Amino acid sequence: MRGGPAYLVASLCLGWIAVWAGENLFWTTPAPDLRLLDLGFVWAAYSVAAGAALSAAIWARLGGWRGAFLGAALLGFMIEGAMVGTMYEAFPAQLVWTPLAWHALISGLGVLGGGMALLRSGVLLQVLGMVGLGVFGAVWGLYWPLEGRALAGLAGMTAYLGLAGAGVVLAFWLLSRLTLPGWGPVWLWLAPAAMGVLWAVGSVVEPSLLRLVWPVMVGATVWAMRRLGGAGLAFGPPVGRGRCGLFLLAPGVTVALVLPGWAMTGGVQVNVPIALVTGAVGLGLWLWLLAAGLRRADGA
């Protein structure tokens, strides 16, 4: 699949991966009133944000782990700063948590970039990586009983993480078979323009000087992508269904560990240490890539 259809399918696939990592894995257990229609709206929103990030990566010709991290950082800024306003709460901590600490580091570098890389590694390494992701999800999930969230049972957790994880399997399989377009078609501007309009409308409805940080963060990220790019962006070559299916080990391990963990502990205050570590790593990596872009610019 090539051209516009490939771009659309890629945006939907990246959007679903981001939903699983940024919503399902993050919240661990489904809300009691969650409906498939709600999940569809979330997927649509994430897919538009993913399309904006994908357009930037195509323009910058940036792939690999740097493309996964910086592209997911853009998606995080789009979700948290244009679609909702959480990026401006608890300023400046929310600039890092969750755009850089979770969307960029966990969703982008871990689930997307790491997942795609492990698909082409040895089977044992992929299994260990997926088990590691599942353990992380279970440890993180131990926090939610302390927030008073209604905890799902085995069936609900299997559907929420496992069936949604099957969508990630399909997304990986499809992504590896797409040939993305080069920069040029006008429609590549549509998703980035939509995000810009959403941010502008939000700034009018809820005016705040803090909202001016959004174009700064987005602009710095896109600039770094452009300076570091040039090699091109590709998700291929194709990967078999069996290797993609090993991703299901991650939600399986999370469900298998977090359910007895909830019963035994009643909740563990893991949110602060995990937020501090992922925040430091996410921010540090983002700044390091910006510095690398500056060095590339000085050497140009």
DSSP state of 182: P
Nearest alpha carbon to residue 224 among 286, 299, 300: 286
Is 60 exceeded by the pLDDT of residue 18?
yes
| Crossing angle (nearest 10°) for helices 271-299 and 123-141 | 130
User: pLDDT band for position 150 (50/70/90)?
Assistant: very high
- Three-state SS for 2? strand
- Three-state SS for 220? helix
* pLDDT at residue 231, as a whole number: 87
Residue count of the chain: 300
* pLDDT at residue 299, as a whole number: 62
DSSP H helical ranges for the chain: 3-19, 25-27, 36-60, 64-78, 93-96, 115-119, 123-141, 154-157, 164-175, 190-205, 213-228, 241-245, 249-265, 271-299
Residues contacting 3, CB < 8 A, separation 6+: 181, 185
* pLDDT at residue 79, as a whole number: 98
Q: What is the pLDDT of residues 242-269, one digit of tens each?
A: 999 999 999 999 999 999 999 999 999 9
Map out the domains of the chain as residue ranges: 3-299
Q: What is the pLDDT of residues 77-97, one digit of tens each?
A: 999 999 999 999 999 999 999
| Crossing angle (nearest 10°) for helices 64-78 and 271-299 | 120
Going from the C-alpha of 262 to that of each of 25, 138, 149, 254, 257, the distances in angstroms are 16, 10, 12, 12, 9
* pLDDT at residue 117, as a whole number: 96
Reading the block at residue 276, the tokens are 């501090």
Write down the pTM of the prediction: 0.96
Cα(181)–Cα(220) distance, integer angstroms: 24
- Three-state SS for 217? helix
Angle at 198 between CA 196 and CA 204, to 5 degrees: 105
Cα(247)–Cα(17) distance, integer angstroms: 11
* Percent of the chain scoring above 70 in pLDDT: 99
50: phi > 0 → left, psi -120 to 50 → alpha, else beta; which?
A: alpha
Residues contacting 2, CB < 8 A, separation 6+: 178, 179, 181
